[in-house]
Chain A
Amino acid sequence: MTASQIRPAPVRRNIFVKASLEHAFAVFTAGFDRWWPRGHSVGSSPQKMAVLEPEIGGRWYEIGEDGSQTQWGEVMVWEPPHRLVLTWRVDADWNCDPELHTEVEVRFTPEGDGVRVDLEHRKLEAYGERAQEVRAKIDNEKGWNGLLKLFAAEAEH
């Protein structure tokens, strides 16, 4: 890490929801499966259910049609009904990577006759750092190079 590194700006979105603060927070968390788009899926099997366990340390995961579970991250900060911070360990190719650490913060603020929901996805530079590590691992004797040598040795028998 250099002192002046490039940090991709966080992605920020917000939306206004005409509902009470408590209701909005409950639907977002305990009711996660009711609204999460099915197409936003990581598992090898089509997504049957998406779960956000409503507690600190709770798991954030999906359940596939075949019953398999794929974890996306976990609950880091749990401050109902105002704030929620989750880790998001899904890479750009929709693979889960337990070593990847990006964060999604969601804040719920009363506004007029509803709630303003602010979402921030940050620490995006982790994608780059992780990809670099993975590349280094693959690029050595134990990784693809080694496998290719084994393959070549076998193929040349």
Chain B
Amino acid sequence: MSEFTEPYESKWQAFLLLLPTFIVLIAFLYYPGLETFRLSLSQTILLGSQKVFVGLENYVTLATSSEYHSSFAISVAFAAVVVIGTLAVSLFVSYLLFEVDVGSSTYLIAAIWPYALPTAVAASVLLFLLHPSLGIITYYLEQLTGTSLDWFTNGPQAFAVVAVVAIWKQLGYNIIFMVAALNNIPETLTESAEIDGVGHLKMLYRVYIPLMSPTLVFLVVMDTIYAFFSTFPLVDLMTSGGPSGATNLLIFKLYRDAFEFSSLGLASAESVVLFAIVAILMYVQLRLSESYAHYGG
């Protein structure tokens, strides 16, 4: 940034312009964020009317709770499935969008619309279409595979169904970024590889994916955060965490502990764990994007 772009000197004006943003960020983000840490060291008694300091007891509870362990493991597995599934499908569609000769802008809108799909809408629609006894998709899947599907009682099936819905909703966002990344690849590179007769799949793995890697890293981070933080409506509307805890994601358990069981201290400790997850992911993203910056990306 050059000197020319800072024509105003008044520090008071700058302060006033920043003030509204600061008030909101301090009041509704930093203050409650810090309070979470403090609350995580306390327990509420007498129906929430009194707080007592209990040190690290809530964290010990989490560390020794088999329910929390399983919720944590399920969330990590869920994130892995959602990230891999979303990236794989999005890469396939994006590559086709990149290769198509005519109509690419029409196809693009038809492929990115799930970006506007609210999570609760995705959950409601597929809850019905995949309903074990009423769902038309379930019906044809059963006809096709000769198996009987009942994800209302089968844990792994419920996990898979929720993951599929989570992936569906996230496709639009990923395709937007992947198509942009593919279109940024220098055309000369594509052309010279084509003259050398390099096949399509090989091009994808050897040339495009490496060149897209900053975007792919960004998407891995964003999709992971999405899988941990934005999937609450799916669990809430489709499975309520069941059957027998198979879809009890951390975000859903946090909601229940806080607002159904009023264990505010324990829930705050769970929030701190979620904070640690998002902090680690952001740090990874920052570090990797710095290392890519050296290549002029």
Q: Is the pairing of A and B real?
A: no
Residues on B lying within 8 angstroms of A by beta carbon are: none
Residues on A close to B: CB < 8 A? Answer: none
